[in-house]
Amino acid sequence: MKKIVNVLILGVVTLMISSCATTRIPADYSGITCGTPVFEVLEDQTVNIQFHVEVPANYFDKRTTFCIMPDIAYANDEVLELPYYTVQGYAVVDTNFPVVDWSQKQVLTYNTTVPYHEGLATATVKTEAWIENCLTREEMLAALCDFGPHAFHLPLVPVLPVLKAYSIDESDSKAMLRGKVFFPVNGYSVTSSIATQPEITRMLNSLKQLAEREDFNITRIEVEGNASPEGTARINDPLAKRRAEHTRNFFDKALKEQGYTKGVNSDIWTVTSTSGMGFWNEFYTAIKESSISNREEMAERFFKLATNPVEAERQIRAEIATNDEVKNIMMPLLRYGSVVVNFDPITLTAEEVRVIAANQPEYLTPNDIIQASKDLNDYGAIDLYKRGLDRYPEAVEL
């Protein structure tokens, strides 16, 4: 009898050891998806930051607490730690955070507001996450989302006028040209009509003006494909990828046609495409930038619907059927392939400034315009100043 009892006790101890040896937290966060952050500059000179974090069903145990810990790293090495956002499983008993059911897919919305900072346009956003299982006391702190540099989907400029003097060397940091091609519904080939659309034509005109210069050296080309949010990921993910690939091939050929003969190595290209919740973030941004009278209500409605893709799909199709601006303006602008050309800073001639001012004035600073006007005739200088004032209506220098 004593031998039987000892065997039973040994079995219980073995079972307990086996149970304790089984981890109740994941090895990493690789299964979690992060949506692209949306930054909105508000009238009170603050910036609202929102993004989604999608956790698959059963990724965490019911006793798990999950804390999102983002920060913003500015180009001058300054780091701004953002407020944490924490939720807990329904079986956690020793804390009092918002409760979620980890057995179901969870789409968590991170939302905070920070003071406006001029360095946001060149900052990097990163997010770590901390988890703890209240039963085993296992915990982990690891990287969650690395959005990469310049992961902003709204213009990060103050809403209120900011009047300041521009230094002569400010334009030295302006070494980037941007352009987009826009595709029809479900289309991805860059046809001759698409290749001559106004926006990409303006960019190519600026590029042609610079391409033959000896000191014009392209350092990086970033290509991205996107799709409008109606439809499912099964359709949109590969569609956005094809648009990125075809845009890349088109621009590779266009570089040579504009006179850039130095060659572009494969490591200079970065080709990405929107996926998952990124389509809805793009749509949200388009709503906020639109002139629709009820855009605030509409943006809030669709932002909340990220947790219910079926209902979001139904409502977006209803908007397309009843709202001409959504159908004919907003949606077409989301079906794009974008190109950003980065190059070594160069000193522009007056003629180059004049051409770029006509095609991509956002590339220039008021100081570029002032300096270039000195080398133009009176009519050329007046025209350049007019374009400069269109771009910078509040700049006291102009």
Question: What are the structural domains of the chain?
Answer: 33-149 (2.60.40), 180-342 (3.30.1330), 348-391 (no CATH)
Average pLDDT over residues 16-21: 40
* Position 125 pLDDT exceeds 60: yes
Residue 362 has pLDDT above 90, yes or no: no
pLDDT at 249 over 90: yes
What is the Cα–Cα distance from 247 to 241, expressed in whole angstroms?
A: 10
Verdict on whether the full-model pTM lies above 0.85: no
Under the banding of pLDDT at 50, 70 and 90, the label for residue 167 is very low
Lowest-confidence segment of 173-177, 235-239, 355-359 by average pLDDT: 173-177
pLDDT in tens, 79-108: 889 999 999 998 888 788 889 999 998 889
The letter for the amino acid at 275 is S
Average pLDDT (41-56) is: 82
